Amino acid sequence: MAMPGNAPTRVLIVDDHDLFRTGLASLMADEDGIEVIAQASGGRMGVRLAAELNPDVILMDLRMPDMTGPEATREIVGRNPHIRVLALTVASEDRDVAEALQAGACGFLAKDTPVDNLVVAIHAAALGTAWLSPRAAEVVLGRIRNAPPPQEQQDSPLEQLSSRELDVLRLIANGMENAEIAAELNISPRTAKNHVSNILTKLGLPSRVQAAVYAVRQGVI
């Protein structure tokens, strides 16, 4: 995966509004460390280009006529979990936030997000960090607070995690990225990344955002 300061982060933009999509691509072209490798005018084209080009990060519009952003995200992440999807929308409605994150998006931003913040979000996504707009964060936290207590299950998925993976899950829930987890646990970033991947696989979750929510609901932290 591309890293800021090294190879550029390869970005695919998926949006059916031509003016917005091309304008965003033009703005991103002026940013160091980012390379817009392609544009897609719809969800189905986005799925196809993601499979062909294997971008690091996808900027995904949520509302498109041929295939919605969550549908496209779910298909892309299902095929290649290493691709990071940032959802973009005009309004951060509760339903939009929930659908995008449940589909596997690692972040959620409004389309009027300042360019500097969008650049930071792209680099954060490439590094494996979740990124939520303030409104999206409110929605996620609200859902956690209002969620019913988890029912006791005889075979909890948490039982599949090793003690070290539980440590990593707690740090994910505390908002730490892979490099910070590595430093906290005195392990290599690659080992931290492998632990995160194993946790998502064992818990059957598409992204670390869902892992954080799951950890809070299960009382891990």
Q: Which range is least confidently modeled, 24-38, 53-67, 73-87, 95-109?
A: 95-109
- On the question of pLDDT at 152 being above 50, the answer is no
Q: What is the pairing mode between strands 9-14 and 57-61? A: parallel
Give the Cα separation of 76 and 153 in Å (integer).
31
**Sheet containing strand 34-40, strands side by side:** 34-40, 9-14, 57-61, 84-89, 107-110, 131-132
Q: How confident is the model at residue 143 (pLDDT cuts 50, 70, 90)?
A: low
Give the Cα separation of 160 and 141 in Å (integer).
26
Q: How confident is the model at residue 103 (pLDDT cuts 50, 70, 90)?
A: confident
Residue ranges matching CATH 3.40.50.2300 in the chain: 9-142
Helices (H) and strands (E) in the chain, counts: 10, 6
This prediction has a pTM of 0.66
Burial per residue of 142-175, b for 16 or more beta-carbon CB atoms within 10 angstroms, e otherwise: eeeeeeeeeeeeeeeebeebeeebebbbbbbbee
Q: Which range is least confidently modeled, 13-27, 44-58, 86-100?
A: 86-100
Fold of 9-142: Rossmann fold (3.40.50)
- On the question of pLDDT at 59 being above 90, the answer is yes
Q: How confident is the model at residue 48 (pLDDT cuts 50, 70, 90)?
A: very high
Please identify which residue in the block is written with the tokens 């932290």: 221
Residue ranges matching CATH 1.10.10.10 in the chain: 150-217
pLDDT per residue as tens digits for the range 105-116: 888 888 888 888
Fold of 150-217: Arc Repressor Mutant, subunit A (1.10.10)
